[in-house]
Amino acid sequence: MPDPDTDATVIARWAAAHGFAPSERKLEGETPLLRQGLVDVATDVHEGQLDGRAARVFDLYVDAAGLPVPGDTGLTTTAFTVLLLEVDAPGWPRVTIHPAEFSEGSWLTRLLHHDDHRVREVDPAFDARYRLRVADSTPDDGVERLLAADLIAWCVEQPSLIFDLENNVDTGDSLVVAARGDDVDEAVIDRLAEQARRLADWFEGS
């Protein structure tokens, strides 16, 4: 008998194995990553739960200039594999960690939000690989907690990390982790799930 999973996508196979089901839900701009382009399209969307939190996994295609290459003015499509998690973290208006090579001007501050800023001199190992941005309304003690050695050290240990968290008045608190590309294997989605768990626990508990 033919294997019904033979033609399934990697996301579909991962989703089925973790109790997720196909979903028709559309993006609502829950975090900065999900509203960066002139067009942001989610495909192969599956919905379920991760440790009791509502979650979606999908491919994301962002049409934008300068993403992710600094200084690139041409309109290009960049693909990501994304895990979106609903969280309860009202104390954190907006936190973003993205690779250092992503353009600062085009990546986060280009369109909608000028009310956040880069946190500089986080840690030499972190600064060599990533950029940390927070909402201007984040209190000083919140920034200090972000810079706690355990969280920053964990970020540095990650093979890669693209992370957004935002309190969105339209969609509630949401957290996103992503990997570049739409052809990742299931191990990469497993890593996204572990990153989402770790970050959700940290921000909900802080």
- Read off the pLDDT of residues 115-151 as tens digits, 9 standing for 90 and up: 788 899 999 999 999 999 999 999 999 999 999 889 9
Look at residue 4 and tell me if it is in a domain.
no
- The structural domain count of the chain equals 1
Residues 118, 206: contact at Cβ < 8 Å? no
> pLDDT at position 111, please?
45
Mean per-residue pLDDT, 93-113: 69
Residue 72 pLDDT: 58
Note whether residue 45 is domain-resident. Answer: yes
Given a contact cutoff of 8 angstroms between Cβ atoms, the answer to whether 67 and 40 are in contact is: no
> Where is average pLDDT lowest: 43-47, 102-106, 109-113?
109-113
> Is position 31 within any domain?
yes
* Residue 157 belongs to a domain: yes
Mean pLDDT (the chain) is: 88
DSSP string covering 139-167, please? -HHHHHHHT-HHHHHHHHHSS--EEEEEE
Per residue in 12-63, pLDDT tens? 999 999 999 999 999 999 998 888 777 789 999 999 999 999 999 999 998 7
Percentage, residues of the chain above pLDDT 90 = 70
Integer Cα distance of 76 and 66 in angstroms: 8
Instruction: Specify if 5 maps to a domain.
Output: no
Do the domain assignments include residue 171? yes
Domain range for 71? 10-204
- For 141-190, write each residue's pLDDT tens digit: 999 999 988 999 999 999 999 999 999 888 999 999 999 999 999 999 99
| Percent of the chain whose predicted confidence (pLDDT) is above 70 | 85
The pLDDT value given to residue 67 = 57
Q: What is the DSSP letter of 20?
A: -
